Amino acid sequence: MSTLLDRIDAVKQAALAELRAARELPALDRAKGAFLGAEGQFTTLMKELGTLAKELRPLAGKAVNAAKQELEAQLAVRREELELSAALPKEPTDFTLPGRPRRLGKQHPLTQVTADIVKAFRKLGFAVADGPEIEDEYHCFDALNTPADHPARDSQDTFFLDVPSRPLLRTHTSSVQIRVMEKTPPPIRIIVPGRVFRRDNADATHNPTFHQIEGLYVDKGVTVGDLKGTVEAVFQDLLGNDVKLRFRPHYFSYTEPSLEIDFTNALVKKLGKDWLEIAGCGMVHPGVFEKVGYDPEVWSGWAFGFGIERIAMLRYGITDIRLFYENDTRFLRQF
């Protein structure tokens, strides 16, 4: 009996030594076969148990099983080690090598233009604000001095949601002016890049959804001169020093006076035009200040809104707005 127990231990030690010595997975498999396989040494020991006296069998059986279990556990550990080292590179990695050229993704041209516009305004001390795309009529129209029966609503009638409170997809980022002023006491200096939605028919220059940047500046003694200077500085920063702007009288219900901004540079001339309309702006209407609880006798301010797509089209010489939304990689890769 003791000789059998000794042999069990000797076989176990030999097996452990062999699997520790295995340097590769095939060697480990061979070791497993030699000890645990159908012809393996442990199988032989198991068969010998039958030749022992009955009362000795349980003790010897336990010893064989314990040895086998230990061996199997060690096998699993060793297998994991070998699998890991097989997966590692054979040569050490040289981290000083230059990167391999690869075709990485790119930011969408509208994202790039938006980032540049934001950067230009940040230099002048403007902070970025945000508001909901699903808006209520109050913030989109009423608080902007555009009551339900106002004719200016017609051109912006838009996509309403079919629920009792009748929210709508915002027609302009001007709604965020109201949301910010409701929450923040003056002075205010913000820009709001965002997506807007209109009933515009899709043609080469219009799309039912597009992007705007809203600007709002409120302080004491703010003038139209500040507005012109700011907008001119930003457009020259974005599109070069040959940019010229022209301010024309216009009508918006939330500004008085209201202006439209026309833009020209070499590219506009090349497109066969003298001027392109790019923005609406004006001095914030006292009625708007009253709605948000600012005293119009104390505070004055200006606001503007322009289309990001328009600016991107000018910057890159694109004549069809729909290219921005088709996600054709041959188009997108060029920016």
Query: Which residue, 131 or 280, has its beta carbon nearer to ligand DAH?
Result: 280
Residue from 172, 179, 211, 291 in contact with ligand DAH (CB under 6 A)? 172
Q: Rounded to an integer, what distance in angstroms lies between the CA atom of residue 255 and that of residue 216? A: 11
Binding of ligand DAH by 252 (CB under 6 A): yes
Residue from 135, 137, 214, 262 in contact with ligand DAH (CB under 6 A)? 214
Query: Where does this chain touch ligand DAH (CB under 6 A) — which range of 63-71, 145-153, 217-225, 279-287?
Result: 279-287
Binding of ligand DAH by 210 (CB under 6 A): no
Token output for 329 = 């990689």
Binding of ligand DAH by 304 (CB under 6 A): yes
Q: How far is the CB of 333 from ligand DAH (least distance, A)?
A: 31
Query: Where does this chain touch ligand DAH (CB under 6 A) — which range of 72-80, 93-101, 299-307, 308-316?
Result: 299-307
For residue 257, whether the previous peptide bond is cis, meaning omega lies within 30 degrees of 0, is yes
Query: Which residue, 42 or 121, has its beta carbon nearer to ligand DAH?
Result: 121
DSSP 37: S
Query: Where does this chain touch ligand DAH (CB under 6 A) — which range of 202-210, 235-243, 298-306, 321-329?
Result: 298-306
**188-197 and 168-169 beta bridge pairing:** unpaired
What's the order of all strands across the beta sheet hosting 255-264?
A: 127-128, 188-197, 209-219, 300-307, 276-284, 255-264, 244-250
Q: How far is the CB of 252 from ligand DAH (least distance, A)?
A: 4
Binding of ligand DAH by 280 (CB under 6 A): yes
Q: Rounded to an integer, what distance in angstroms lies between the CA atom of residue 45 and that of residue 278? A: 92
Query: Which residue, 153 or 172, has its beta carbon nearer to ligand DAH?
Result: 172
Binding of ligand DAH by 303 (CB under 6 A): yes
Which amino acid, 265?
A: N
Give which of 223, 225, 265 is closest to 245, Cα–Cα. 265
What stretch of H or E contains 183?
helix 174-183
Q: Rounded to an integer, what distance in angstroms lies between the CA atom of residue 313 and that of residue 306? A: 13
